[in-house]
Amino acid sequence: MEKPKNQSPMLFSYAPIASLLFSKLPLLTHLVPADKSSPLNLSDLYLNLSDRYKLLQLLRAAIALALFCLHLLVSTFLSIVLTRPDSVEFDENRPSQEIGIGRALTQLLSLVADVPVSSRKYQLLRGLAENLMDDNVREGNGEVNRTALGLAFSKTIYRLEVAESERGTESHELGGFGERVIARVYNRAVRYARDSVGSKEGSRLSCESAEKLAAELLWLSRKLADCGGVDEAVLRWGSSSNFARLALSAEPRLQEWLVRVSVFLFKHAKETDDTEENESQDGKKMKMLMSWLPLLCRASNGTDTPVVSMIEKAEMETVLEEMIGEMNILKQEKVLALWLYHFTSCPNSDWPNLQACYAHWYAKSRKIELVK
């Protein structure tokens, strides 16, 4: 028997079976064609269902309403979380001179972020900001530096995150239909959140501008370390899990700078602060690992030269192994499972190699199971 021309082979071969099944259902008997010899047309069945019962139409409307509610909920949340920090609050108990210095430094750092590197004013502004910070350190006003630098660091991450969200880069990583729908809803919510606070920052950033901001993140991190405020950068960087996810599909040159920032902050995250509880330290380290370990696995080679030197790679592997080894067995499993997935998913990179750490965790876990 010759197959209909406009029918796919699979649909044709299973149509009699589908027709038989539907004919056995009392409520759907009248929806099946009277001519049993004709194959079941699923599109006609869909139209019949839609016209007669409106069930699918109602279901579609319910899904659309649910997505709209999700959009509204995420938009409201992000309008709070991603609101651009326009000003910084300095301790009013401090002398007014220090408050004025803090505001001046904040303005300078904001201008450094806005002015392109190609401008001859860029080096002037950055040099002036560095002179102010050096003077503050010498005069014992490191807190002023930490406050202004912390604001600039958060603001720069915000701009990059919004720009990457608008680019929709996460859709390249997500494969499922549901994940793509959620990604689109999230992107629209981010744009809504940005527009609701009247902020144009982060939108339509060129690759060069994004690289420049990422390079400034490294500069700000180093300045925070100089004035004893690197913990602020570690906490903020580790909490930027969504930005870290977007970074996996960012432009390669942008990724290179983000890897450099991550390496620098991982080294400082390893340094334990005795004034904080161990649980708080573990939380910071866990966030850093879960957020940025995937990027280390995928973007360490660089476009022209390796982002991280061989010596730095060896040092970083030691740092990562020590950080993971200090955690409880369940947290180690979570981190190492994440590492293994991204390490094996990227054929162009063999770093960081945590096989020894993985083997140690596995042996320890096996001993625990044997004891049980």
Residue-range domain boundaries for the chain: 9-53, 81-199+210-219, 255-372
pLDDT of residue 88: 44
For residue 178, what are the contacts with CB-CB under 8 A and spacing of at least 6?
Answer: none
- If we measure between CA atoms, which residue out of 126, 190, 188, 125 comes closest to residue 158? 190
Q: In this model, does residue 56 exceed pLDDT 70?
A: no
Phi and psi (nearest 5°) for 257?
A: -70, -35
CA–CA separation, 105 and 100 (whole Å):
9
Q: What is the DSSP letter of 202?
A: T
Geometric angle at alpha carbon 239, from 237 and 244, rounded to 5°: 70
Q: What is the mean pLDDT of the chain?
A: 75
Q: Are 296 and 352 in contact (CB under 8 A)?
A: yes
Pairwise pLDDT comparison (229 vs 37), residue with the higher score:
229
Q: Are 319 and 272 in contact (CB under 8 A)?
A: no
Question: Which burial class, exposed, middle or buried, applies to 196 when counting CB atoms under 10 A from its CB (0-12, 13-18, 19+)?
Answer: middle
Question: What tens digit of pLDDT does each residue of 273-314 get?
Answer: 444 555 566 788 999 999 999 999 988 777 777 788 899 999
Lowest mean pLDDT among 17-31, 129-143, 210-224: 17-31
Q: In this model, does residue 200 exceed pLDDT 70?
A: no
CA–CA separation, 121 and 86 (whole Å):
22
CA–CA separation, 255 and 277 (whole Å):
33
Question: What tens digit of pLDDT does each residue of 127-162 get?
Answer: 999 999 999 988 888 899 999 999 999 999 999 998
**Region 353-366: what's the mean pLDDT?**
93
pLDDT of residue 347: 80
The answer to whether the Cα torsion of 356, 357, 362, 363 is positive or negative is positive
pLDDT of residue 25: 44
Question: How many angstroms separate the Cα of 274 from the Cα of each of 228, 268, 269, 279?
Answer: 14, 14, 13, 12
Q: Are 141 and 212 in contact (CB under 8 A)?
A: no
pTM: 0.69
